[in-house]
Structure formats: structure tokens, C-alpha cells
A and B are shown apart, each in its own frame.
Chain A
Amino acid sequence: MTCLSFLISPQLALHIPDGFLNLPTSLIAWMATIALISLALKRVQADYQERAVPLMGVCAAFIFAAQMINFPIPGGTSGHLLGGTLAGVLLGPWAGTLVMSIVFVVQAVFFQDGGLTVLGANIFNMGAIGTFGGYYLYKAIRFAIGRQSWRGMAVGVAVASWCSVVFAAIAAALQIAASGTIPLGVVLGAMVSWHVLIGIGETLITLIAVNFIWKVRPDLLFDAPRKPSRRIANG
């Protein structure tokens, strides 16, 4: 039964299956994604050096496991975490993007969750927009309010995680419409109306998880609150 409820949870609608996108759309998304991943790979190797492989590996396993948790969304349905913004906040934009990409690769290749030909698009929507865009949105808001305050952190995380889900849904809808599979108005309406709601669940869970880490091990956050000098120097 848990398997079934997991199955029909609408969050998965963000994983576009094979056959929904045509050749030009898939190709453009693949090119953008490969460029981003290779850039992320370079940055991560430079930042983490020989720690890169084990750390990115366990973090990808963590995101994968976190995505499997079902939790109640206000309003009666249940959903599960996408984790893009969470990965960005915890690991930073480059490592976060890399980890999310690895998760989507594993989901597509080993578990047939999301198509193989559209993997580029899926990584772009949820990895690039969710993690990369989500991280910079969060950072801008947090640093505007105050780096040391939980209020700034909370507002930044909340806005970024909601936006990351909704914008990923918009991007997926645009790609599906550009491929001529479903008319733009229909797919945009369906995707956005669902994910506006799902984004609320994503926001709550991300916020609670980040709050826990903020209280217990704030030094593990990518932009740790109490040691500002080192991170700012590294940019």
C-alpha cells in the first residue's frame, strides 16, 4: 500500500518520461546539462579534492533516501521531497547540482524513473533550476536579511524551495509544450496548479530539516553562520 500511495504521489510528475520530448528539445537540454555537469565536476574536484568521491556518493544516497519519505501536505494529500534546494543549501550550488544529477541518473538508468532520452531535461529542470537557481535565490534573500539570523535563513530557504519546485514545473511544462506533446495552456495549467501546492510541502520539510541542522550542527551548512570569514573569502 505504501508503494501504491508513493506511486500516485503527484511529485513524480516532474520526472518527464521517454517519449514526451522531441529531438530538438531533448538535444538542447542535454547540451545545457552536460555543460553544467562538467563545470560542476571541475569545481567539486577542486573544492573537495580526494574527498569528492565518498562525500558526493553518500550525499547522493542521502538525497535518494530522503526523496522516498512520504509526508502529509496541509490539505490532505501526501507528497515527498524533491530536495533540490535542500542539496543547494547544504552542499552549495556546485556540489549540490552534481549530487542531484547523480540521483537523477541513477533513477533513470536503474529504476526507470524518468526517461533516458529526456534525462538531460530532467536534470536541467530539477538539478539546475532547483539546486543552482534555488541556492542563489536563497543566498540573496538570506544575506539581504542577515547572515547570522535564523529569520533570514528561514525566509530564504522557504522562498527558494517553493520557487524551485514551481519553476521546475514551469520549465518541464514549457519543454513538453515546445515538443508539441501537449498544448502549452493545458500543460502549464496542470503542472503549475499541482506544484504550487506541492511546493508548500517541499517548503515545510526543507525548512524543518534545515532548522534541525541549524540548531545541531550549523557548521555543516555550506554558508555556515558563525564562521563568516573563510566562506566569504572563498566566494
Chain B
Amino acid sequence: MLLLHIGAFQLAVASQKTTLWHALLPRTRLLCAIALVFAIALTPNGRWVTWAVYGAIIGGVILLSRVPWRTLLTRVAVETLFVGAVLLGTLFRDGGEVVWSWGILRVTTEGITVLGSVGIKMLLSLLVLNVLTLTTSIADLLQALVVLRTPPIVLAILTSMLRYLQVSVREFQTMQRAAASRNLTANPRTARLVLGNAIGSLFIRTYTRGERISQAMLSRGYTGIPPAEKASRLQRRDFVAIASTVAIVIIGQGIR
């Protein structure tokens, strides 16, 4: 959501490169990323070695995929800045708690362990997901979702949402600009009223647009069943990538 300001359809800025990572099918990339994220995020707190292993692998993938470091780090920084504020907020609150129960020092060290663990999990997951979305276009990702047994109707709704996202956002920005240029957003009270009305009005436009679209689709012969995408077959390197990801996940969980 934060990155929409950069433009929804420039999310995958590094999708045109020719590396081994890019040679993998989008499905394979998605599966590997999901396996890694679940392994990272669901590892119990305090397993530093496991995350070190995963972190090394992620570093390797970042190097291999030649994702621009600047872009990657900017995105992760933007995304962690907010979550970091939440984490720091809880730490601050914890600080208040410590004074209250000063006698037990173990609580504080455990608090730091939890804080560090959660922080690392979050950071590594964000790195993985950002590499995935930077290197894989939205269309490819949608197609890849088929492999996760996403029902075709959900995929069709997702596709249609992403297609009209830009339209909705632009329409909203136009309304906001119009209100601001008429000096209607200076006073918080009127600003709320104007923006609330804009949301109401956008819903009416949205709903009528939806009906127009569905009529257009029906007139082109749409029957309510979205056409199935033909999936390309997995190559040997895809199998190798999936197998090695699974192996890494298991090894990481085994190491103490």
C-alpha cells in the first residue's frame, strides 16, 4: 500500500533481467519465497543459528537475482520503519513494566530475545518478499497463484481489482485535488466532510462502473467462468530450486 505512490505497475522494477533466478518459472519463485517466509516467521523465538542460515541463503539469492540494492533497501526500510515504530512502542511499554517489576531481571532478557527474534523474522521475511515482487511482475505472480490452488474465481477477482486499482486511486486523487484547490480541506471539519462525501461518491461511481464492465464482459461472451490459464511445465532447474529450498528449510530447522 505504501509503495503505491511509486506506481502500482512499476513494482517489479527488476523483472527484465536474465539471471538464474529470473530463469525460474514465477511459480517456482513464489513457492520458494513462501516456503522461506513460512520457515522464517514460524521458527520459535531465540533460534539465531537458523535465521543465520536462512539469512545467508537470502543474501545469496539477492546477489544471484541482481536486484538493485538501493531499491531493495529503500523498500525494506520504508516497510520496517513503521513496524519498527510498533516494536519500539512495545519496548517503551516494556520499559515502563520493568520499573514496576524490577526484581525479576529474567523478564527483561527474555523481552530482548523476543524483540530481537521478532525483528529478525520480520526483516528476513520482508527481504524475501521484496526480492520476489521486485523480480516478478504482477501478471506473473497472479499466474503463479494458480499453483497454490487459488480458486479461479478468486484469481479473476484479483486480476480485475488490480486492473482497476490505478483507476480508483487516480479518481480519488483527482477529487482530493479538486477539493484542495477550492480550499475545502483547510478546516479539519470540512475536510472530513468533503473526503467522506468523496468516498461515498466514489462508491457510487465504482458500483456503476462495475455494472458497466460486467455488461461489456457479458456482451463479449463471458459466462461467469473465468478462462483457465495454460501453465507452462516445470523445468529441471525448477525442481532443483524447489528441492534445495525444502532442504535448506529442513536443515535450518534441524540446526540448533
Q: What residues of chain A have their CB less than 8 Å away from a CB belonging to chain B? A: 2-3, 6-8, 12-13, 17-20, 22-23, 26, 37, 41, 45, 49-62, 64-69, 71-72, 74, 81, 86, 90, 98, 102-103, 105-107, 109-113, 115-118, 180-183, 186-187, 189-190, 204-213, 216-217, 220
Q: Which residue of B lies closest to A176 (CB)?
A: B90
- Note all chain B residues with C-beta closer than 8 A to A23: 42
Determine whether B129 belongs to the interface, using a CB cutoff of 8 Å to chain A. Answer: yes
Contact check, A71 vs B195: say whether CB atoms are below 8 A apart.
yes
Within 8 Å by CB of B214, from A12, A55, A61, A213, lies: A55
Contact sample, A vs B, 11 pairs, CB 8 Å cutoff:
A18-B122, A50-B214, A50-B218, A50-B222, A59-B210, A68-B4, A90-B203, A116-B38, A182-B90, A183-B97, A186-B94
- Note all chain A residues with C-beta closer than 8 A to B193: 208
Segment with Cβ contacts to A, from B17-25, B54-62, B154-162, B241-249? B154-162
Contact check, A117 vs B158: say whether CB atoms are below 8 A apart.
no
- Note all chain A residues with C-beta closer than 8 A to B121: 18-19
Determine whether B89 belongs to the interface, using a CB cutoff of 8 Å to chain A. Answer: yes
Please judge, given known A-B contacts A57-B164, A65-B169, whether A205 and B195 are in contact too, CB under 8 Å: yes
Contact check, A212 vs B169: say whether CB atoms are below 8 A apart.
no
Nearest-neighbour CB distance to chain B for A150, whole angstroms, equals: 14
Contact check, B172 vs A7: say whether CB atoms are below 8 A apart.
no
Interface size band for B: 35 or more
Within 8 Å by CB of A181, from B85, B118, B213, lies: B118
Contact check, B204 vs A220: say whether CB atoms are below 8 A apart.
yes
Q: Which residue of A lies closest to B79 (CB)?
A: A112
Contact check, A116 vs B199: say whether CB atoms are below 8 A apart.
no
Contact check, B83 vs A216: say whether CB atoms are below 8 A apart.
no
Contact check, B1 vs A67: say whether CB atoms are below 8 A apart.
yes
Please judge, given known A-B contacts A7-B81, A59-B207, whether A212 and B200 are in contact too, CB under 8 Å: yes
- Note all chain B residues with C-beta closer than 8 A to A50: 214, 217-218, 222-224
Contact check, A18 vs B37: say whether CB atoms are below 8 A apart.
yes
Nearest-neighbour CB distance to chain B for A50, whole angstroms, equals: 3
Separation of A102 and B162 alpha carbons in the complex (Å): 10
Residue among A50, A59, A62 with the highest chain B CB neighbour number at 10 A: A62
Contact check, A66 vs B202: say whether CB atoms are below 8 A apart.
yes
- Note all chain B residues with C-beta closer than 8 A to A116: 34, 37-38, 41, 125, 129
Separation of A17 and B63 alpha carbons in the complex (Å): 25
Determine whether B229 belongs to the interface, using a CB cutoff of 8 Å to chain A. Answer: no
Determine chain B's interface SS by DSSP, over half rule.
Answer: helix
Nearest-neighbour CB distance to chain A for B131, whole angstroms, equals: 11
3 A-B pairs with the lowest CB-CB distances in the bound complex, closest first: A208-B196, A57-B160, A212-B200
Contact check, B199 vs A209: say whether CB atoms are below 8 A apart.
yes
Nearest-neighbour CB distance to chain A for B185, whole angstroms, equals: 9
Please judge, given known A-B contacts A17-B83, A213-B203, whether A74 and B117 are in contact too, CB under 8 Å: no
Within 8 Å by CB of B204, from A180, A206, A213, lies: A213
- Note all chain B residues with C-beta closer than 8 A to A20: 118, 122
- Note all chain B residues with C-beta closer than 8 A to A60: 157, 161
Contact check, B161 vs A8: say whether CB atoms are below 8 A apart.
no
- Note all chain B residues with C-beta closer than 8 A to A110: 8, 11, 133, 138, 141, 162
Within 8 Å by CB of A61, from B93, B97, B161, B176, lies: B161
Contact check, B37 vs A216: say whether CB atoms are below 8 A apart.
no
Contact check, A112 vs B126: say whether CB atoms are below 8 A apart.
yes
- Note all chain A residues with C-beta closer than 8 A to B183: none
Separation of A86 and B225 alpha carbons in the complex (Å): 28
Additional A-B contacts beyond A58-B209, A211-B196 (20; CB < 8 A): A17-B83, A18-B40, A18-B41, A19-B40, A51-B211, A52-B157, A53-B153, A53-B157, A58-B168, A59-B210, A68-B1, A69-B198, A71-B195, A105-B158, A113-B1, A116-B37, A212-B197, A212-B201, A213-B204, A216-B204
Within 8 Å by CB of A72, from B40, B42, B118, B192, lies: B192
Contact check, A57 vs B224: say whether CB atoms are below 8 A apart.
no
